[in-house]
Chain A
Amino acid sequence: MISAFGVYFTTQWASFVAYRVVFFLYSMWAILPPLIYLAVWSTVAGGGGVGGWSRGEFVAYYLTFMVVNHLAGSIEIHTASWEIRQGEISGRLLLPIHPAVRTLASNVGFKAIGLLVVVPSVLLLAALFRPEYHTTPALVVAGVVATLAAGALQFLIGYTVALLSFWITRADAVAQLNEVLLVLLAGQIAPLALLPEALQAVAAVLPYRYMLSFPVEIITGRLGSSEILLGFGMQTVWLVGAWFLMRFAWRRGVRHYSAVGG
Protein backbone atom coordinates (compact mmCIF):
# COMPACT_ATOMS: atom_id res chain seq x y z
CA MET A 1 0.00 0.00 0.00
CA ILE A 2 2.74 2.44 1.05
CA SER A 3 5.09 1.34 -1.72
CA ALA A 4 2.26 1.59 -4.26
CA PHE A 5 1.65 5.14 -3.05
CA GLY A 6 5.37 5.83 -3.49
CA VAL A 7 5.34 4.59 -7.09
CA TYR A 8 2.19 6.58 -7.94
CA PHE A 9 3.66 9.65 -6.28
CA THR A 10 6.87 9.41 -8.34
CA THR A 11 5.03 9.02 -11.64
CA GLN A 12 2.55 11.81 -10.83
CA TRP A 13 5.38 14.08 -9.74
CA ALA A 14 7.20 13.41 -13.03
CA SER A 15 4.12 14.29 -15.07
CA PHE A 16 3.55 17.46 -13.03
CA VAL A 17 7.15 18.52 -13.60
CA ALA A 18 6.64 17.96 -17.33
CA TYR A 19 3.61 20.28 -17.33
CA ARG A 20 4.90 22.54 -14.55
CA VAL A 21 3.67 25.87 -15.95
CA VAL A 22 0.09 24.64 -15.92
CA PHE A 23 0.37 23.55 -12.29
CA PHE A 24 2.12 26.76 -11.29
CA LEU A 25 -0.83 28.66 -12.74
CA TYR A 26 -3.41 26.40 -11.08
CA SER A 27 -1.79 26.89 -7.69
CA MET A 28 -2.47 30.65 -8.06
CA TRP A 29 -6.10 29.74 -7.38
CA ALA A 30 -5.15 29.18 -3.74
CA ILE A 31 -3.82 32.75 -3.56
CA LEU A 32 -5.83 35.09 -5.76
CA PRO A 33 -9.36 34.65 -4.29
CA PRO A 34 -8.25 35.28 -0.67
CA LEU A 35 -6.06 38.16 -1.94
CA ILE A 36 -9.27 40.05 -2.82
CA TYR A 37 -10.49 39.85 0.77
CA LEU A 38 -7.02 40.48 2.19
CA ALA A 39 -6.89 43.74 0.24
CA VAL A 40 -10.45 44.81 1.07
CA TRP A 41 -10.17 44.07 4.82
CA SER A 42 -6.78 45.70 5.10
CA THR A 43 -8.26 48.82 3.45
CA VAL A 44 -11.30 48.75 5.75
CA ALA A 45 -9.09 48.28 8.84
CA GLY A 46 -6.59 50.86 7.57
CA GLY A 47 -7.30 53.41 10.32
CA GLY A 48 -7.82 51.97 13.77
CA GLY A 49 -8.73 48.36 13.01
CA VAL A 50 -12.11 46.64 12.80
CA GLY A 51 -13.92 44.38 15.28
CA GLY A 52 -10.77 43.93 17.39
CA TRP A 53 -8.56 43.17 14.37
CA SER A 54 -5.73 45.47 13.28
CA ARG A 55 -4.75 45.83 9.63
CA GLY A 56 -1.60 43.71 10.15
CA GLU A 57 -3.59 40.98 11.87
CA PHE A 58 -5.92 40.71 8.87
CA VAL A 59 -2.85 40.41 6.64
CA ALA A 60 -1.35 37.68 8.87
CA TYR A 61 -4.68 35.84 8.84
CA TYR A 62 -5.07 35.89 5.06
CA LEU A 63 -1.43 35.04 4.26
CA THR A 64 -1.71 31.97 6.53
CA PHE A 65 -5.08 31.26 4.93
CA MET A 66 -3.48 31.15 1.46
CA VAL A 67 -0.88 28.56 2.50
CA VAL A 68 -3.46 26.37 4.29
CA ASN A 69 -5.83 26.81 1.32
CA HIS A 70 -3.18 25.38 -0.97
CA LEU A 71 -2.10 22.57 1.37
CA ALA A 72 -5.60 21.44 2.36
CA GLY A 73 -7.44 22.07 -0.94
CA SER A 74 -9.26 19.33 -2.81
CA ILE A 75 -8.68 18.75 -6.55
CA GLU A 76 -10.60 15.48 -6.68
CA ILE A 77 -13.46 16.95 -8.72
CA HIS A 78 -10.93 17.40 -11.52
CA THR A 79 -8.98 14.16 -11.10
CA ALA A 80 -11.22 11.39 -9.76
CA SER A 81 -14.47 12.63 -11.29
CA TRP A 82 -12.87 12.86 -14.71
CA GLU A 83 -11.61 9.25 -14.47
CA ILE A 84 -15.10 8.00 -13.71
CA ARG A 85 -16.83 10.00 -16.46
CA GLN A 86 -14.29 8.98 -19.09
CA GLY A 87 -14.47 5.31 -18.07
CA GLU A 88 -10.75 5.38 -17.30
CA ILE A 89 -11.42 3.94 -13.88
CA SER A 90 -12.41 0.57 -15.42
CA GLY A 91 -8.80 -0.54 -15.81
CA ARG A 92 -7.85 0.74 -12.39
CA LEU A 93 -10.63 -1.26 -10.75
CA LEU A 94 -8.87 -4.43 -11.88
CA LEU A 95 -5.67 -3.55 -10.04
CA PRO A 96 -5.22 -5.02 -6.56
CA ILE A 97 -5.04 -1.54 -5.10
CA HIS A 98 -7.78 0.98 -4.36
CA PRO A 99 -7.97 3.68 -7.10
CA ALA A 100 -8.16 6.33 -4.37
CA VAL A 101 -4.48 5.71 -3.59
CA ARG A 102 -3.54 7.03 -7.01
CA THR A 103 -5.90 10.00 -6.57
CA LEU A 104 -4.27 10.75 -3.22
CA ALA A 105 -0.77 10.57 -4.73
CA SER A 106 -1.86 13.00 -7.39
CA ASN A 107 -3.24 15.33 -4.70
CA VAL A 108 -0.02 15.29 -2.66
CA GLY A 109 2.15 15.68 -5.77
CA PHE A 110 0.21 18.72 -6.93
CA LYS A 111 0.55 20.36 -3.53
CA ALA A 112 4.29 19.66 -3.36
CA ILE A 113 4.98 21.23 -6.75
CA GLY A 114 2.55 24.08 -6.13
CA LEU A 115 4.50 25.13 -3.03
CA LEU A 116 7.23 26.35 -5.39
CA VAL A 117 4.79 29.09 -6.42
CA VAL A 118 2.75 29.54 -3.24
CA VAL A 119 5.66 30.14 -0.85
CA PRO A 120 7.42 32.86 -2.91
CA SER A 121 4.07 34.54 -3.67
CA VAL A 122 3.10 34.64 -0.01
CA LEU A 123 6.54 36.02 0.93
CA LEU A 124 6.19 38.70 -1.73
CA LEU A 125 2.72 39.61 -0.45
CA ALA A 126 4.11 39.69 3.10
CA ALA A 127 6.68 42.26 1.98
CA LEU A 128 3.94 44.33 0.30
CA PHE A 129 1.29 44.15 3.04
CA ARG A 130 3.44 43.74 6.23
CA PRO A 131 1.64 41.17 8.43
CA GLU A 132 1.52 41.29 12.23
CA TYR A 133 1.80 37.80 13.74
CA HIS A 134 0.98 36.88 17.36
CA THR A 135 1.94 33.24 17.52
CA THR A 136 4.10 30.72 19.36
CA PRO A 137 5.99 27.61 18.14
CA ALA A 138 3.45 25.41 19.95
CA LEU A 139 0.58 27.09 18.08
CA VAL A 140 2.35 26.59 14.77
CA VAL A 141 2.84 22.88 15.51
CA ALA A 142 -0.84 22.51 16.46
CA GLY A 143 -1.73 24.44 13.30
CA VAL A 144 0.32 22.11 11.11
CA VAL A 145 -1.43 19.07 12.63
CA ALA A 146 -4.80 20.74 12.05
CA THR A 147 -3.80 21.53 8.45
CA LEU A 148 -3.01 17.86 7.79
CA ALA A 149 -6.35 16.86 9.27
CA ALA A 150 -8.10 19.57 7.20
CA GLY A 151 -6.39 18.25 4.08
CA ALA A 152 -7.54 14.71 4.88
CA LEU A 153 -11.10 15.95 5.46
CA GLN A 154 -11.15 17.92 2.19
CA PHE A 155 -9.79 14.88 0.37
CA LEU A 156 -12.45 12.55 1.78
CA ILE A 157 -15.29 14.98 1.08
CA GLY A 158 -13.88 15.95 -2.33
CA TYR A 159 -13.52 12.29 -3.27
CA THR A 160 -17.07 11.52 -2.11
CA VAL A 161 -18.42 14.36 -4.27
CA ALA A 162 -16.35 13.08 -7.20
CA LEU A 163 -17.86 9.62 -6.66
CA LEU A 164 -21.30 11.13 -7.36
CA SER A 165 -20.15 10.94 -11.00
CA PHE A 166 -21.11 7.26 -10.82
CA TRP A 167 -24.75 8.39 -10.76
CA ILE A 168 -25.01 11.92 -12.12
CA THR A 169 -23.33 13.78 -14.96
CA ARG A 170 -23.07 17.07 -13.11
CA ALA A 171 -21.00 16.20 -10.03
CA ASP A 172 -19.13 19.45 -10.77
CA ALA A 173 -22.27 21.42 -9.86
CA VAL A 174 -22.32 19.75 -6.42
CA ALA A 175 -18.62 20.57 -6.10
CA GLN A 176 -19.30 24.22 -6.96
CA LEU A 177 -22.07 24.34 -4.36
CA ASN A 178 -19.62 22.92 -1.82
CA GLU A 179 -17.09 25.56 -2.88
CA VAL A 180 -19.54 28.42 -2.28
CA LEU A 181 -20.21 27.17 1.26
CA LEU A 182 -16.49 26.78 1.84
CA VAL A 183 -15.90 30.39 0.78
CA LEU A 184 -18.63 31.68 3.09
CA LEU A 185 -18.29 29.38 6.12
CA ALA A 186 -14.56 28.62 6.15
CA GLY A 187 -13.24 32.11 6.67
CA GLN A 188 -12.46 33.41 3.18
CA ILE A 189 -14.98 36.24 2.90
CA ALA A 190 -14.18 37.23 6.48
CA PRO A 191 -12.56 35.58 9.49
CA LEU A 192 -15.37 33.59 11.12
CA ALA A 193 -15.16 35.70 14.30
CA LEU A 194 -16.48 38.68 12.29
CA LEU A 195 -19.58 36.88 10.95
CA PRO A 196 -22.99 37.50 12.56
CA GLU A 197 -23.46 35.20 15.56
CA ALA A 198 -26.09 33.00 13.90
CA LEU A 199 -23.73 32.25 11.02
CA GLN A 200 -20.87 31.63 13.44
CA ALA A 201 -22.97 29.02 15.24
CA VAL A 202 -23.75 27.30 11.93
CA ALA A 203 -20.09 27.43 10.88
CA ALA A 204 -18.97 25.84 14.17
CA VAL A 205 -21.10 22.75 13.53
CA LEU A 206 -20.69 22.20 9.75
CA PRO A 207 -17.49 20.59 8.41
CA TYR A 208 -16.30 23.62 6.39
CA ARG A 209 -14.48 25.40 9.22
CA TYR A 210 -12.51 22.24 9.97
CA MET A 211 -11.59 21.92 6.30
CA LEU A 212 -9.85 25.29 6.10
CA SER A 213 -10.08 28.10 8.64
CA PHE A 214 -9.59 26.18 11.91
CA PRO A 215 -5.78 25.75 11.37
CA VAL A 216 -5.53 29.42 10.35
CA GLU A 217 -7.30 30.53 13.53
CA ILE A 218 -4.89 28.40 15.61
CA ILE A 219 -1.71 29.72 13.94
CA THR A 220 -2.78 33.37 14.15
CA GLY A 221 -3.34 32.97 17.90
CA ARG A 222 -7.10 33.60 17.81
CA LEU A 223 -8.12 30.53 19.84
CA GLY A 224 -7.69 29.62 23.52
CA SER A 225 -6.54 26.12 24.46
CA SER A 226 -10.05 24.85 25.23
CA GLU A 227 -11.30 26.16 21.87
CA ILE A 228 -8.40 24.40 20.15
CA LEU A 229 -9.23 21.10 21.88
CA LEU A 230 -12.91 21.42 20.99
CA GLY A 231 -11.93 22.16 17.39
CA PHE A 232 -9.73 19.09 17.16
CA GLY A 233 -12.62 17.07 18.58
CA MET A 234 -15.00 18.38 15.89
CA GLN A 235 -12.37 17.76 13.23
CA THR A 236 -12.01 14.12 14.37
CA VAL A 237 -15.77 13.60 14.39
CA TRP A 238 -16.06 14.93 10.84
CA LEU A 239 -13.06 12.89 9.67
CA VAL A 240 -14.62 9.68 10.94
CA GLY A 241 -18.00 10.63 9.46
CA ALA A 242 -16.47 11.54 6.08
CA TRP A 243 -14.51 8.28 6.04
CA PHE A 244 -17.65 6.19 6.44
CA LEU A 245 -19.54 8.33 3.94
CA MET A 246 -16.77 7.84 1.38
CA ARG A 247 -16.69 4.07 1.97
CA PHE A 248 -20.46 3.89 1.59
CA ALA A 249 -20.48 5.97 -1.62
CA TRP A 250 -17.62 3.91 -3.04
CA ARG A 251 -19.30 0.51 -2.43
CA ARG A 252 -22.64 1.65 -3.85
CA GLY A 253 -21.00 3.50 -6.74
CA VAL A 254 -18.87 0.61 -7.96
CA ARG A 255 -21.88 -1.69 -7.83
CA HIS A 256 -23.87 0.84 -9.85
CA TYR A 257 -21.08 1.47 -12.35
CA SER A 258 -21.21 0.22 -15.89
CA ALA A 259 -18.31 1.52 -17.91
CA VAL A 260 -18.76 4.18 -20.55
CA GLY A 261 -16.76 3.97 -23.71
CA GLY A 262 -14.08 1.51 -24.69
Chain B
Amino acid sequence: MFRYLEMIGVFAKNSMQNEAAYRVNLLTNILLTIVQVSSSIAGLLVIYTHTQTIRGWTFSQTLALLGVFIFTNGLTHTFIAPNLNEFAEGIRKGTLDFTLVKPANSQFLASFQRVNIWGTADVLVGLGLVVYAVTSGFGEGVGLLQVLAFLGAVLCGTVIIYSLWIGPATVAFWTVKIDNITSILQAFYNMGRFPVQAYPAWLQRLLTFVVPVAFVTTVPVQALSSQSTPLLLLASAAVAAVMLWLSTRLWKLGLSQYTSASS
Protein backbone atom coordinates (compact mmCIF):
# COMPACT_ATOMS: atom_id res chain seq x y z
CA MET B 1 0.00 0.00 0.00
CA PHE B 2 2.68 2.50 1.05
CA ARG B 3 4.79 1.43 -1.89
CA TYR B 4 1.98 2.55 -4.18
CA LEU B 5 1.58 5.91 -2.45
CA GLU B 6 5.33 6.38 -2.78
CA MET B 7 5.06 5.61 -6.48
CA ILE B 8 2.39 8.27 -6.96
CA GLY B 9 4.80 10.68 -5.29
CA VAL B 10 7.54 9.75 -7.77
CA PHE B 11 5.16 10.14 -10.72
CA ALA B 12 4.10 13.57 -9.48
CA LYS B 13 7.72 14.67 -9.06
CA ASN B 14 8.52 13.44 -12.56
CA SER B 15 5.72 15.36 -14.16
CA MET B 16 6.62 18.46 -12.16
CA GLN B 17 10.13 18.33 -13.61
CA ASN B 18 8.68 17.90 -17.10
CA GLU B 19 6.27 20.78 -16.69
CA ALA B 20 8.89 23.13 -15.25
CA ALA B 21 9.92 23.63 -18.87
CA TYR B 22 6.56 25.21 -19.66
CA ARG B 23 6.21 27.89 -17.01
CA VAL B 24 3.69 30.01 -18.90
CA ASN B 25 1.35 27.05 -18.54
CA LEU B 26 1.34 27.57 -14.79
CA LEU B 27 -0.01 31.10 -15.11
CA THR B 28 -2.47 30.14 -17.82
CA ASN B 29 -3.87 27.25 -15.78
CA ILE B 30 -4.17 29.23 -12.55
CA LEU B 31 -5.96 31.99 -14.44
CA LEU B 32 -8.30 29.45 -16.05
CA THR B 33 -9.13 27.86 -12.70
CA ILE B 34 -9.91 31.26 -11.17
CA VAL B 35 -12.16 32.30 -14.06
CA GLN B 36 -13.98 28.97 -14.21
CA VAL B 37 -14.59 28.81 -10.47
CA SER B 38 -15.77 32.44 -10.26
CA SER B 39 -18.14 31.86 -13.16
CA SER B 40 -19.58 28.76 -11.43
CA ILE B 41 -20.09 30.71 -8.21
CA ALA B 42 -21.68 33.58 -10.16
CA GLY B 43 -24.07 31.05 -11.70
CA LEU B 44 -25.12 29.81 -8.24
CA LEU B 45 -25.57 33.39 -7.01
CA VAL B 46 -27.84 34.17 -9.98
CA ILE B 47 -30.04 31.14 -9.28
CA TYR B 48 -30.23 31.92 -5.55
CA THR B 49 -31.24 35.55 -6.12
CA HIS B 50 -34.49 34.10 -7.49
CA THR B 51 -35.10 31.39 -4.91
CA GLN B 52 -34.34 30.65 -1.24
CA THR B 53 -33.66 26.94 -1.65
CA ILE B 54 -33.53 24.34 -4.41
CA ARG B 55 -35.60 21.44 -3.02
CA GLY B 56 -34.35 22.19 0.48
CA TRP B 57 -30.74 22.93 -0.51
CA THR B 58 -29.56 26.33 0.75
CA PHE B 59 -26.98 28.45 -1.04
CA SER B 60 -24.11 27.48 1.25
CA GLN B 61 -24.95 23.78 0.99
CA THR B 62 -24.93 23.98 -2.80
CA LEU B 63 -21.71 25.99 -2.61
CA ALA B 64 -20.14 23.21 -0.53
CA LEU B 65 -21.38 20.74 -3.13
CA LEU B 66 -19.76 22.80 -5.89
CA GLY B 67 -16.54 22.62 -3.83
CA VAL B 68 -16.76 18.81 -3.68
CA PHE B 69 -17.42 18.74 -7.42
CA ILE B 70 -14.39 20.90 -8.23
CA PHE B 71 -12.28 18.85 -5.80
CA THR B 72 -13.14 15.44 -7.31
CA ASN B 73 -13.03 16.83 -10.85
CA GLY B 74 -9.55 18.18 -10.05
CA LEU B 75 -8.48 14.77 -8.74
CA THR B 76 -9.60 13.01 -11.93
CA HIS B 77 -7.82 15.57 -14.09
CA THR B 78 -4.67 15.33 -11.98
CA PHE B 79 -4.34 11.57 -11.81
CA ILE B 80 -6.57 9.58 -14.14
CA ALA B 81 -7.53 11.63 -17.21
CA PRO B 82 -3.96 12.31 -18.42
CA ASN B 83 -3.32 8.55 -18.50
CA LEU B 84 -6.36 7.41 -20.41
CA ASN B 85 -5.53 8.65 -23.90
CA GLU B 86 -2.01 7.42 -23.53
CA PHE B 87 -3.37 4.06 -22.47
CA ALA B 88 -5.53 3.84 -25.63
CA GLU B 89 -2.50 4.87 -27.70
CA GLY B 90 -0.49 2.18 -25.94
CA ILE B 91 -2.97 -0.46 -27.05
CA ARG B 92 -2.93 0.83 -30.63
CA LYS B 93 0.85 0.98 -30.88
CA GLY B 94 1.68 -1.89 -28.57
CA THR B 95 3.65 0.31 -26.18
CA LEU B 96 1.44 -0.92 -23.34
CA ASP B 97 4.00 -3.75 -23.21
CA PHE B 98 6.36 -1.42 -21.32
CA THR B 99 3.72 -0.93 -18.65
CA LEU B 100 2.93 -4.63 -18.38
CA VAL B 101 6.52 -5.76 -17.81
CA LYS B 102 6.99 -3.44 -14.83
CA PRO B 103 6.87 -5.15 -11.43
CA ALA B 104 3.70 -3.46 -10.16
CA ASN B 105 -0.04 -3.79 -10.64
CA SER B 106 -0.68 -2.97 -14.30
CA GLN B 107 -4.05 -1.32 -13.70
CA PHE B 108 -2.44 0.95 -11.12
CA LEU B 109 0.38 1.93 -13.49
CA ALA B 110 -1.93 2.47 -16.45
CA SER B 111 -4.15 4.80 -14.40
CA PHE B 112 -1.55 6.75 -12.43
CA GLN B 113 1.84 6.85 -14.16
CA ARG B 114 1.24 10.28 -15.63
CA VAL B 115 0.27 13.12 -13.34
CA ASN B 116 -1.04 16.49 -14.49
CA ILE B 117 0.13 18.65 -11.59
CA TRP B 118 -1.91 21.66 -12.73
CA GLY B 119 -5.05 19.76 -11.76
CA THR B 120 -4.02 20.23 -8.12
CA ALA B 121 -5.06 23.90 -8.39
CA ASP B 122 -8.66 22.67 -8.73
CA VAL B 123 -8.21 20.22 -5.86
CA LEU B 124 -7.07 23.01 -3.53
CA VAL B 125 -9.71 25.52 -4.67
CA GLY B 126 -12.42 22.87 -4.24
CA LEU B 127 -11.30 22.13 -0.68
CA GLY B 128 -11.15 25.84 0.09
CA LEU B 129 -14.67 26.31 -1.19
CA VAL B 130 -16.01 23.51 1.06
CA VAL B 131 -14.28 25.00 4.12
CA TYR B 132 -15.58 28.49 3.27
CA ALA B 133 -19.14 27.27 2.68
CA VAL B 134 -19.17 25.37 5.98
CA THR B 135 -17.66 28.11 8.14
CA SER B 136 -19.75 30.91 6.64
CA GLY B 137 -22.94 28.96 6.12
CA PHE B 138 -23.94 25.94 8.17
CA GLY B 139 -20.94 25.61 10.50
CA GLU B 140 -22.86 25.35 13.82
CA GLY B 141 -24.39 21.98 12.85
CA VAL B 142 -21.09 20.42 11.87
CA GLY B 143 -19.33 18.32 14.49
CA LEU B 144 -16.63 15.66 14.44
CA LEU B 145 -19.15 12.99 13.48
CA GLN B 146 -20.31 14.94 10.43
CA VAL B 147 -16.74 15.63 9.29
CA LEU B 148 -15.85 11.94 9.58
CA ALA B 149 -18.98 10.90 7.67
CA PHE B 150 -18.13 13.53 5.05
CA LEU B 151 -14.56 12.29 4.63
CA GLY B 152 -15.80 8.70 4.35
CA ALA B 153 -18.36 9.68 1.73
CA VAL B 154 -15.78 11.68 -0.24
CA LEU B 155 -13.43 8.67 -0.18
CA CYS B 156 -16.22 6.43 -1.52
CA GLY B 157 -17.07 9.09 -4.12
CA THR B 158 -13.44 9.23 -5.25
CA VAL B 159 -13.35 5.44 -5.66
CA ILE B 160 -16.62 5.59 -7.63
CA ILE B 161 -15.36 8.33 -9.90
CA TYR B 162 -12.13 6.40 -10.46
CA SER B 163 -14.06 3.27 -11.45
CA LEU B 164 -16.38 5.34 -13.63
CA TRP B 165 -13.44 6.61 -15.65
CA ILE B 166 -11.30 3.50 -15.76
CA GLY B 167 -14.15 1.07 -16.52
CA PRO B 168 -15.21 2.61 -19.84
CA ALA B 169 -11.53 3.28 -20.66
CA THR B 170 -10.84 -0.45 -20.39
CA VAL B 171 -13.19 -0.88 -23.35
CA ALA B 172 -10.20 0.40 -25.37
CA PHE B 173 -8.84 -3.18 -25.24
CA TRP B 174 -11.62 -3.99 -27.68
CA THR B 175 -12.39 -0.69 -29.46
CA VAL B 176 -8.96 1.06 -29.32
CA LYS B 177 -10.41 4.60 -29.40
CA ILE B 178 -11.93 6.00 -26.21
CA ASP B 179 -11.75 9.81 -26.21
CA ASN B 180 -15.40 10.06 -27.25
CA ILE B 181 -16.53 7.82 -24.36
CA THR B 182 -14.61 9.86 -21.80
CA SER B 183 -15.94 13.06 -23.34
CA ILE B 184 -19.56 11.94 -22.85
CA LEU B 185 -18.75 10.72 -19.35
CA GLN B 186 -17.41 14.16 -18.46
CA ALA B 187 -20.63 15.73 -19.76
CA PHE B 188 -22.68 13.52 -17.40
CA TYR B 189 -20.27 14.05 -14.54
CA ASN B 190 -20.79 17.81 -14.91
CA MET B 191 -24.34 17.24 -13.67
CA GLY B 192 -22.72 16.70 -10.27
CA ARG B 193 -22.42 20.47 -9.84
CA PHE B 194 -25.98 20.47 -8.50
CA PRO B 195 -27.62 18.22 -5.90
CA VAL B 196 -29.49 15.36 -7.61
CA GLN B 197 -32.67 16.54 -5.88
CA ALA B 198 -32.60 19.53 -8.27
CA TYR B 199 -33.28 17.19 -11.19
CA PRO B 200 -36.52 15.47 -12.23
CA ALA B 201 -37.13 11.95 -10.94
CA TRP B 202 -36.00 10.07 -14.06
CA LEU B 203 -32.72 11.99 -14.16
CA GLN B 204 -32.21 11.38 -10.43
CA ARG B 205 -32.52 7.65 -11.02
CA LEU B 206 -30.07 7.86 -13.93
CA LEU B 207 -27.57 9.76 -11.77
CA THR B 208 -27.99 7.30 -8.87
CA PHE B 209 -28.05 3.92 -10.57
CA VAL B 210 -26.51 4.27 -14.04
CA VAL B 211 -23.85 7.00 -13.72
CA PRO B 212 -23.75 7.21 -9.89
CA VAL B 213 -22.66 10.84 -9.72
CA ALA B 214 -25.11 11.28 -6.81
CA PHE B 215 -22.69 9.43 -4.50
CA VAL B 216 -19.77 11.61 -5.57
CA THR B 217 -21.09 15.08 -4.74
CA THR B 218 -24.61 14.96 -3.23
CA VAL B 219 -24.10 12.28 -0.56
CA PRO B 220 -20.91 13.81 0.97
CA VAL B 221 -22.60 17.19 1.47
CA GLN B 222 -25.68 15.48 2.89
CA ALA B 223 -23.39 13.72 5.35
CA LEU B 224 -21.77 17.03 6.25
CA SER B 225 -25.09 18.77 6.92
CA SER B 226 -26.55 15.79 8.88
CA GLN B 227 -29.10 15.00 6.19
CA SER B 228 -27.87 11.53 5.46
CA THR B 229 -28.63 8.25 7.19
CA PRO B 230 -26.09 5.54 8.07
CA LEU B 231 -27.89 3.44 5.46
CA LEU B 232 -27.09 5.96 2.72
CA LEU B 233 -23.42 5.97 3.68
CA LEU B 234 -23.36 2.18 3.69
CA ALA B 235 -24.96 2.19 0.25
CA SER B 236 -22.27 4.57 -0.92
CA ALA B 237 -19.53 2.27 0.40
CA ALA B 238 -21.21 -0.73 -1.22
CA VAL B 239 -21.48 1.01 -4.60
CA ALA B 240 -17.83 2.04 -4.37
CA ALA B 241 -16.72 -1.51 -3.54
CA VAL B 242 -18.79 -3.11 -6.28
CA MET B 243 -17.66 -0.61 -8.90
CA LEU B 244 -14.00 -0.98 -7.98
CA TRP B 245 -14.34 -4.76 -8.14
CA LEU B 246 -16.07 -4.53 -11.54
CA SER B 247 -13.35 -2.25 -12.87
CA THR B 248 -10.61 -4.71 -11.90
CA ARG B 249 -12.59 -7.62 -13.38
CA LEU B 250 -13.04 -5.69 -16.62
CA TRP B 251 -9.36 -4.80 -16.61
CA LYS B 252 -8.29 -8.44 -16.27
CA LEU B 253 -10.76 -9.51 -18.94
CA GLY B 254 -9.43 -6.85 -21.31
CA LEU B 255 -5.83 -7.70 -20.52
CA SER B 256 -6.41 -11.34 -21.48
CA GLN B 257 -7.52 -10.04 -24.90
CA TYR B 258 -4.42 -7.94 -25.37
CA THR B 259 -2.02 -9.33 -27.96
CA SER B 260 0.27 -6.31 -28.38
CA ALA B 261 0.76 -4.67 -31.75
CA SER B 262 4.44 -4.94 -32.52
CA SER B 263 5.62 -6.98 -35.46
User: Given contacts A43-B198, A176-B32, is CB(A170)–CB(B43) below 8 Å?
Assistant: no
Q: Does A28 contact B (CB under 8 A)?
A: yes
Give A residues with C-beta under 8 Å from B.
21-22, 25-26, 28-29, 32-33, 35-36, 39-44, 50-51, 128-129, 169-170, 173, 176-177, 180-181, 183-184, 189-190, 194-196, 199
Q: Which of B180-194 contact A (CB under 8 A)?
A: 180-181, 183-184, 187-188, 190-191, 193-194
7 pairs of residues in contact across A and B, judged by CB atoms under 8 Å: A22-B177, A36-B190, A43-B200, A44-B54, A128-B200, A177-B35, A189-B46
Give the residues in chain A near B184, CB-CB below 8 Å.
25, 28
Instruction: Give B187-209 as 1s and 0s: 1 = Cβ < 8 Å from A's Cβ atoms.
Output: 11011011000111011000000
Contact check, B43 vs A189: say whether CB atoms are below 8 A apart: yes
Give B residues with C-beta under 8 Å from A.
22, 24-25, 28-29, 31-32, 35-36, 39, 42-43, 46-47, 49-51, 54-55, 177, 180-181, 183-184, 187-188, 190-191, 193-194, 198-200, 202-203
Contact check, B24 vs A170: say whether CB atoms are below 8 A apart: yes
Known: A39-B200, A128-B202. 16 other contacts (CB 8 A): A28-B184, A28-B187, A32-B187, A36-B190, A39-B199, A41-B47, A43-B54, A44-B198, A173-B29, A177-B35, A183-B39, A184-B39, A189-B43, A194-B46, A194-B50, A195-B46
Residue of A whose beta carbon sits closest to that of B191: A36
Contact check, B32 vs A173: say whether CB atoms are below 8 A apart: yes
Residue of A whose beta carbon sits closest to that of B24: A170
A42 to B200, CA, bound (A): 9
Give the residues in chain A near B24, CB-CB below 8 Å.
170
Contact check, A196 vs B35: say whether CB atoms are below 8 A apart: no
